[in-house]
Amino acid sequence: MRAWVLAGLGMVIGAAGLLAWPKARPIDPTNARQVEQGRLLYAQHCASCHGTDLAGEADWQTRKPSG
């Protein structure tokens, strides 16, 4: 009986935590600051594979000597 009460309490606390979690705000493509942040993030973390012009790499499946 005590285990059921503790399990139920844990579920209630977990659900309350999920409901209290802040929601993500949608990105506004007209917001210059957000656009600049996205550009910098892409340049730092994505452009090495996907290219600076979003074209990607033609033969990405073939392993290069560098790994």
The pLDDT value recorded for residue 55 is 83
What's the predicted TM-score (pTM) here? 0.50
The pLDDT value recorded for residue 16 is 85
Average pLDDT estimate for 21-36: 90
> Rounded to an integer, what distance in angstroms lies between the CA atom of residue 37 and that of residue 33?
6
The pLDDT value recorded for residue 38 is 93
The pLDDT value recorded for residue 67 is 67
List CB contacts of 28: < 8 A, sequence separation 6 or more: 34
Average pLDDT of every residue of the chain = 87
> Rounded to an integer, what distance in angstroms lies between the CA atom of residue 32 and that of residue 39?
10
Sign of CA dihedral 43, 45, 47, 53: negative
